[in-house]
Chain A
Amino acid sequence: MNSRSLQTTIIFLVVGGILALSLGGFFGSASRQFNSVLIDIQTWFSSRFTGLQDFITAPRDIVSLRNRNAELETQVSQLQAQVIELQQRVNETEILAALVDFSRSNPESTYKAAAVIGRDPSPFLHYIIINRGSNDDIRRGMPVVTNQGLVGRVDAVIADAARVQLITDPASSVNVYLQNAETSAVAFGSVTGDISLDMISQNSTVESGDLILTSGLGGGYPSDLIIGQVVTIRSLEFELFQQATVQPAVDFTRLEIVLVITNFRPVDITPLEPLPSP
């Protein structure tokens, strides 16, 4: 080994030793400053390299990201459709569960569930159309209910559909009794879809909140079906009867599934009604 190469080797060893000692923290603050300079330099190079790498590979990534984004958007739209469908099923299931509870708590009647598929095209009439008809043993006059209370009765039937007159129809009248007042009355529908009570005896004490149930008189409806609650009472001394407005138990604007009571046969009392004297 000649003197020059020996000198080079020694220089390398010295510098290497100083570096090793410096990195090992043996030089105190001088070592930390040296380290921080090194780290700053490395950081600078690293960030520049990362930037360069991003610049070179970015177009490819954008294309792949766009494709991936499109795939994910497709998946999201599919999942949203599924969520909507499942929400509809959940709503339907909740309604059906409530109706099943109602039918279990009223085992004396037999029920047939039907979906509401339309309403009368005329704004003068409050009728709904259901998807069960004579093929499902639905007959004219059968009462229609929900778990909340009375909805109406079947007015016309075809093979796979039926038309139901709601108790809010202006031509509808239902014989009822007020549970707390223990008096009978008649519930009438109206143009606006509100229900009002009439024919309440002046001797009865009616209060706001009194529960209204079908009385079964007249044979058109079974007894003890809930109609609603009294909201306001109008009592004038010179009138024969008191009147009241009713808060219906059923939300008639959101009817989706109803139950038809199939073991009830309405009684036609028309022949028993007295004829008007000439």
Chain B
Amino acid sequence: MRNLIAYPLLGLAVIFQSAIISQVKLISGYADLPLMILAVWALQDRVKSAWHWAAVTCVMVGFVSSMPWPVVAAGYLGVVYFAQILQRRVWQAPLLAVFSVIFLGTLFIHLLSFAVLRVSGTPFAFDDVIGLITLPSLLLNMLFSIPIYALVRDLARWVYPFEEYE
């Protein structure tokens, strides 16, 4: 039942993203709060509901954003996939894993967005996208990932208490 916290938490994250974070720009890029929450959540070793959270995030972001929904779905599910792979390999350095997943996830979503929008006829220049959107967004995601990591880790401990896990 505690997993239902995903709905209000991710709902608030999407509202926060749309209302505030999207206005805090670095050049033309900005941080992706749902991505960071999802990445950190999926990296917690006790968490078993990362795919559910990814699905909820996809529905909420897809509803608000004008980005084609396959991009949103593939992007956030891809983030969880990266997290699941890295969780088994660098589990002793959680912050390193968080940085890696957020780095890979941001790049993946941005490249996917660029490719799909370009194919659908939006005139993007690759250099502009990398220099003006992707690199600033990566920097902001890395910066914000540290406090998000602390918050989501505590949340994971509350949702999956240690005794219950053992």
A residues neighboring B (CB under 8 Å):
117-125, 127, 129, 155-156, 163, 165, 170-171, 188, 190-193, 253
Q: Digit string of B1-33 for contact with A (CB within 8 Å is 1, else 0)?
A: 000000000000011011100110101111010
Q: Is residue B148 within 8 Å, beta carbon to beta carbon, of the partner chain? A: no
Shortest Cβ distance from B43 into chain A, in angstroms?
Answer: 22
Q: Take A117-B19, A192-B128, A192-B132 as given contacts and tell me if A125 and B28 are in contact as well, using a CB distance cutoff of 8 Å.
A: no
Q: Is residue B147 within 8 Å, beta carbon to beta carbon, of the partner chain? A: no
Shortest Cβ distance from A254 into chain B, in angstroms?
Answer: 10
Give the one of A156, A165, A170 with max B CB within 10 A. A170
Please, which residue of chain A has its CB at the minimum distance from the CB of B28? A192
Shortest Cβ distance from B19 into chain A, in angstroms?
Answer: 5
Contacts of B23 in A (CB 8 A): 119, 253
Q: Digit string of B120-143 for contact with A (CB within 8 Å is 1, else 0)?
A: 011111001100110001000000
Q: Is the CB of A120 within 8 A of B65?
A: yes
Give CA–CA (A118, B66) in the complex, Å.
13
Contacts of B100 in A (CB 8 A): none
Give CA–CA (A55, B101) in the complex, Å.
68
Please, which residue of chain A has its CB at the minimum distance from the CB of B26? A123
Q: Is the CB of B124 within 8 A of A170?
A: yes
Consensus secondary structure, chain B interface: helix
Q: Is the CB of B19 within 8 A of A127?
A: no
Give CA–CA (A117, B113) in the complex, Å.
24
Q: Is residue B64 within 8 Å, beta carbon to beta carbon, of the partner chain? A: yes
Give CA–CA (A122, B69) in the complex, Å.
12
Q: Is the CB of B15 within 8 A of A118?
A: yes
Q: Is the CB of A121 within 8 A of B114?
A: no
Contacts of A165 in B (CB 8 A): 66
Give CA–CA (A165, B122) in the complex, Å.
13
21 A-B residue pairs with Cβ-Cβ distance under 8 Å, sorted by A, are A118-B64, A120-B18, A120-B64, A120-B65, A121-B22, A121-B32, A121-B61, A122-B65, A123-B29, A123-B30, A124-B114, A124-B129, A127-B65, A127-B66, A129-B64, A165-B66, A170-B122, A191-B133, A192-B28, A193-B28, A253-B23
Give CA–CA (A117, B19) in the complex, Å.
6
Q: Take A129-B64, A156-B66, A188-B123 as given contacts and tell me if A120 and B132 are in contact as well, using a CB distance cutoff of 8 Å.
A: no
Checking B15, B64, B123, B137 against A170 with a beta-carbon cut-off of 8 angstroms, the contacting residue is B123
Q: Is the CB of A119 within 8 A of B22?
A: yes
Give the one of A119, A121, A125, A165 with max B CB within 10 A. A121
Please, which residue of chain A has its CB at the minimum distance from the CB of B21? A121
Give CA–CA (A117, B128) in the complex, Å.
28
Checking A118, A124, A191 against B18 with a beta-carbon cut-off of 8 angstroms, the contacting residue is A118
Q: Is the CB of A121 within 8 A of B14?
A: yes
Q: Take A170-B124, A192-B132 as given contacts and tell me if A124 and B113 are in contact as well, using a CB distance cutoff of 8 Å.
A: yes
Q: Take A129-B64, A192-B128 as given contacts and tell me if A121 and B17 are in contact as well, using a CB distance cutoff of 8 Å.
A: yes
